Amino acid sequence: MTAAWFVVARLARDRSALIGLVLIALLVLAALLAPLLSTHPDDVFELHPSERLRAPSGTHWLGTDRMGADVYSRLLFGARITILIGLIAVGASLAIGVPIGLVAGYHHGWASDLLMRVSDIFLAVPQVVLAIAIAQTLGPSLPNVILALSVTYWPWFARVVYAETRALQKEAFVESTAALGASPWRLTVLHVLPNIASPIIVRASIGMGFTILTAAALGFLGLGPPPPTPEWGRTIAESREFLPDAWWYAAAPGLAIFLTVMGFNLLGDGLRDVLDPRLRRSPSRDG
Amino acid sequence: MSAPAPPLLELVDLARHFPVRSAFGRRVGWLRAVDGVSLEVRPGETLGLVGESGCGKSTLGKTVMGIYTPTAGEIRFGGREIGRLPRRARRSVAKDLQYVYQDPGASLDPRWKIRPLLHEPLRIHTTLTRTERDREVGAILAAVGLPDAHLDLYPHELSGGQQRRVGLARILTLRPRLVILDEPTSGLDVSVQASVLKLFRSLQETFALTYVFISHDLSVVRAMCASIAVMYLGKIVERGPTIRVFEAPRHPYTQSLLAAVPRIGGRRVTADFALEGEPPNPRDIPSGCRFRTRCPLAQARCAAEEPPLRPLDGRAVACHFA
Amino acid sequence: MAELLAVRGLRVDFATDRGPAQVLDRINLDIAAGEVVGLVGESGCGKTTLARAILGILPEGSARIREGEVRFRGTDLLTQGPAAMNEHVRGRAITFIPQDPFTSFSPLFPVGTQIMDLMKWKSPRAREQARPASLFGRYPRARQRADREAVLETLRAVQIPEPARALRRLPHEFSGGQRQRLMIAMALLPQPDLIIADEPTTALDVTIQAQILRLLRALVKERGVSVLFTTHDLGTAHELCDRVVVMYAGQEMEAAPTDAFFGRPAHPYTRSLLASVPGPDGEIRDIPGEVPSLVTPPPGCRFHPRCDHATAECRVERPQPRALADGHGVRCHHPVDAPAGAGA
């Protein structure tokens, strides 16, 4: 636990990383406490056509949408969707990509070449395009969005893990633990994996941002969860015909997406700086 | 008088070649790092393996250890051929045959604490319970002179010397019979070197170890090893009791090697140093005797015929004219 | 004897995470003209820092020269501006042979180009520049030819085969030993008064080292160049040097002509150091204790925590230099009077 605290303390020194951390914290808070923080929690489902497209005011902090629902409240509940999509998609990519990367990295031969070529093929296609193709084929729904994103993002993890595993194989401690008689399983899971945790964490953070952006794109194109789900991308799509008059209708979810993605990217960058070089330093060696 | 103990380690014509590839990946030649080495190590002995860079001594150590698979020849350990064992069986040999890197501290996973690092070899090879392992580990720690408090630290929280001791302790938990030491004092200050050598000596006594001591430092080898084998470009050129070889080296390369070592006190040795040139590229080994390109005794026969290692004057020499 | 180089009371601190490390503690050092002086000591003793301080190439951000002077041919180098140091001293009156022959050359350009670049600015035939050195300085043809002759001759002297062809080759085509010969040539070409060689043979095999040491000694004696040779290997110091100075934890402990240094060492540290070299008898003696931290060094004589002869005086006051015999100086409150080997 102290290691985690150490990381946070170090992160705090980096201003942009701190901003990232704050933004993510806000997102998480919004998602967790949506029922408490929202002013009109029922607006996720209820319609008030008489109040449609009202500008931001005292009762509706970010105005209302075309159904008269409170934009602010829907935004908060939308945060839940956003986080859910991000976490599950990135989690699934991790679960697929990391083992593939480990196996490909550990072995030398046609099997590992094959695995990496497959992941290269996935990487060659832009993620958005591939996700659109999959979501389109399977139909618009939340699970399908998550599936599409997982299937397109895992190669990033595989590649990072593969490169790091290969690099680590040359390290003396890996070679010597192998010489001690450690099995490949023990080596990869107990020794290699903890040592490459940092790049994986960094990639996961950046992946969250990337995935959320792609999810919003899918939602915008109508391939995401259907209405009345307050998904941010779909909200922007809905707002299009009312622009530029009902500017708040697009600005709110747009800004939310922007800040979320930026937050994850800043956090990821900050983590990258903090995690690796610092932890390898040995404070007790004499300078 | 009873027959001498059978050798603990026996190498028969051991070879390890590395393919040399062109830019397109095609193999254009071979780097014959170890090219037919035969030797024996008896239990309790310390064999010194000396030579300059490129002679193959490190590759030899790693091949015996199983880090590289032999290209040809046999490795017999405790009477059993181990060079061609399948992976899983080879791993069980690690219990008896171990290898110490130049920097044993680097062999420690930086993310593990010392306690699990020392428990690990026992978890891999034995079925001891946690308490039994604790006891073993405690005994080993004492043997290398480290306090119990270190068990809860990470490697980077220890000094370089302490890390070295932990690295050694890790290997010793398995109670190996033979330990290959690869350049253990290279780059160390002379007083630190002295402490490390003393540690090796005391460990040898406590654990009844047999050492193969790979080093380019002749004065260290002289102090630590009862027998010595001199390597040049992948082959052994002279082999025998250290005292004999040092007092009266017979192979021209050994003579040059010993002549090159700076001595404290007395005449400057380098004033007379005669060996010219550099060792040939190991990818392009000369025909016949490998040393002939720099040897003052070289003649036509040396280019045509490779001299075998044959007994002479209480040791073995590979030279036509020794 | 006229001192070519005299370091007096040099104090250098390095900034570290835990406060300033007192890397050099009021060092004195003398080098006479034509003399080869060995600076021996274990890692962290400050010998490389001293060499760099003399050349004026200490890392700017972290190193701080607190006090002292470095008198070279009468002038204090520490008071010279960087331009003057570059013009007249560095690479000209004082040249440098680095430790690692493998990274001393730029891998992109042929060796000849790099050496001729050196000669353009540092050749002894170059006249004093009226304008400051720039990329576009003139390199007169006549001088270029004379310089090239000097280069070829020096390459022959360091026993590089076929010098003219060698100049066209890239650095990676030379072995470590050959690159070190090239470095020696480059150190000799400006016709310096002093060469500072920082562990030049540490990375080389022992037979190559023997060739290089023999070569270096012959060349410097022939040309009357002084050498400051830092090493942690006592044997090479014995081979190459006329006089040896030993340092420990930033303080110089003893300085003596080679025979006296190895035969009749007076300082307890020198004796312990010599005793820890593996002897033919197989006996191995180490020095108990560890090298002290330079951030909080022991007061007085820094060796006192590990010294058998230490008394209260040693813990408080650093010993002043004391002359024991001709050229044999020691900084110790209790110098040992017996020849080496007779008791620690």
pTM reported for the whole predicted model: 0.82
pLDDT at C280 over 80: no
Domain ranges of chain A: 2-48+56-280
Q: What is the model's pLDDT at position A5?
A: 76
The domain defined by A2-48+56-280 folds into MetI-like fold (1.10.3720)
Q: Touching check for C18 and chain A: CB below 8 Å?
A: yes
Domains of chain B: 9-89+178-317 (3.40.50.300), 108-175 (no CATH)
Q: Which residues of C touch B55 (CB under 8 A)?
A: none
Residue B109: which of A177, A183, A281 has the nearest Cβ? A177
pLDDT, mean of residues C25-41: 93
Q: Are B159 and A284 in contact (CB under 8 A)?
A: yes
Q: What is the model's pLDDT at position C139?
A: 80
Q: Are A152 and A132 in contact (CB under 8 A)?
A: no
**How buried is residue A79: exposed, middle or buried, by Cβ count under 10 Å (0-12/13-18/19+)?**
buried
Task: Give the distance from residue A283's alpha carbon to the nearest chain C alpha carbon, in angstroms.
Answer: 9
Residue C70 token pair = 């470095």
Q: Which residues of A touch C17 (CB under 8 A)?
A: 283, 287
Alpha-carbon dihedral A8, A14, A15, A18, rounded to 10 degrees: -20
> A176–B159: do the CB atoms touch at under 8 Å?
no
Q: What is the model's pLDDT at position A282?
A: 36
Task: Give the distance from residue A176's alpha carbon to the nearest chain B alpha carbon, in angstroms.
Answer: 6
> C207–B256: do the CB atoms touch at under 8 Å?
yes
Q: Which residues of B touch C268 (CB under 8 A)?
A: none
**Is the bond preceding residue A244 a cis peptide, omega within 30 degrees?**
yes
Task: Give the distance from residue A161's alpha carbon to the nearest chain B alpha carbon, in angstroms.
Answer: 17
* Rounded (10°) angle between helices A197-220 and A127-138: 60
CA B198 to each of CA B66, C232, C285: distance values in angstroms, whole numbers, following the listed order: 28, 20, 8
User: Other CB atoms closer than 10 Å to residue C162's CB: what's the count?
Assistant: 10
pLDDT, mean of residues C104-128: 85
Residue C207: which of B189, B198, B260 has the nearest Cβ? B260
> C210–B273: do the CB atoms touch at under 8 Å?
yes
Q: Which residues of B touch C274 (CB under 8 A)?
A: 264
**How buried is residue C8: exposed, middle or buried, by Cβ count under 10 Å (0-12/13-18/19+)?**
middle
pLDDT, mean of residues C109-117: 91
Q: Are C157 and C185 in contact (CB under 8 A)?
A: yes
Q: pLDDT tens digits, residue range A3-57?
A: 677 777 777 778 888 898 899 999 998 888 888 887 777 777 777 777 788 888 8
Q: What is the model's pLDDT at position C340?
A: 64
CB proximity list for A54: less than 8 A, separation 6 or greater:
A60, A63, A64, A68
Q: What is the model's pLDDT at position B282?
A: 80
Q: What is the model's pLDDT at position C343?
A: 44
Q: Which residues of A touch B107 (CB under 8 A)?
A: 172-173, 175-177
> Could you tell me which residues of chain C have a Cβ less than 8 Å from any Cβ in chain B?
42-43, 175, 177-178, 205-211, 213-214, 217, 232-236, 238-239, 262-263, 272-274, 276-280, 282-287, 290
> B67–A172: do the CB atoms touch at under 8 Å?
no
Q: What is the model's pLDDT at position C1?
A: 45
CA A105 to each of CA A75, A97, A98, A163, C234: distance values in angstroms, whole numbers, following the listed order: 42, 12, 10, 7, 46
**Is the bond preceding residue C161 a cis peptide, omega within 30 degrees?**
no
Q: Which residues of A touch C15 (CB under 8 A)?
A: none
pLDDT at C136 over 70: no
- The C-alpha angle with vertex C23 and arms to C267 and C194, in degrees rounded to 5, equals 80
Kindly list the partner chains of chain B, i.e. chains with 3 or more CB atom pairs below 8 Å: A, C
Q: What is the model's pLDDT at position A275?
A: 75
**Residue pairs between chains A and C whose CB atoms are closer than 8 Å:** 9
| Strands, E assignment, B8-45 | 9-21, 27-41
> A286–C44: do the CB atoms touch at under 8 Å?
yes
Task: Give the distance from residue A44's alpha carbon to the nearest chain B alpha carbon, in angstroms.
Answer: 48
State phi, psi for C88 to the nearest 5 degrees: -100, -30
> A287–C14: do the CB atoms touch at under 8 Å?
yes
pLDDT, mean of residues C314-343: 83
Q: What is the model's pLDDT at position B231?
A: 94
Residue C232: which of B159, B189, B269 has the nearest Cβ? B189
Task: Give the distance from residue A87's alpha carbon to the nearest chain C alpha carbon, in angstroms.
Answer: 39
> B261–C211: do the CB atoms touch at under 8 Å?
no
> A186–B94: do the CB atoms touch at under 8 Å?
no
Q: What is the model's pLDDT at position A287?
A: 25
Q: pLDDT tens digits, residue range C291-316?
A: 888 999 999 999 999 998 889 999 99
Q: Is the ipTM value over 0.85, yes or no? A: no
> A186–B124: do the CB atoms touch at under 8 Å?
yes
Q: Are B191 and C276 in contact (CB under 8 A)?
A: yes
Q: Which residues of C touch B261 (CB under 8 A)?
A: 206, 235
Q: Which residues of chain A have pLDDT under 70?
A: 1-3, 276-287
Q: Are B246 and B222 in contact (CB under 8 A)?
A: yes
> A286–C17: do the CB atoms touch at under 8 Å?
no
Domains of chain C: 3-246 (3.40.50.300), 249-330 (no CATH)
State phi, psi for B300 to the nearest 5 degrees: -55, -40
The one-digit pLDDT tens for each residue of chain B (322 residues) are 456 678 899 999 999 999 888 877 788 888 899 999 999 999 999 999 999 888 999 899 999 998 889 999 999 998 889 988 888 888 888 889 999 988 888 889 988 999 999 999 999 988 889 999 999 999 999 989 899 999 999 998 888 888 999 999 999 999 999 999 999 888 788 888 988 999 999 999 999 999 999 998 898 999 999 999 999 999 999 999 999 999 999 999 999 998 888 888 777 777 777 788 788 888 888 888 999 888 888 888 888 888 888 998 889 999 988 7
Task: Give the distance from residue B168's alpha carbon to the nearest chain C alpha carbon, in angstroms.
Answer: 19
Task: Give the distance from residue B248's alpha carbon to the nearest chain C alpha carbon, in angstroms.
Answer: 14
Residue with tokens 């760099």: C52
> C238–B264: do the CB atoms touch at under 8 Å?
yes
B170 to chain A: closest CA residue: A180
Q: Which amino acid is at C233?
A: D
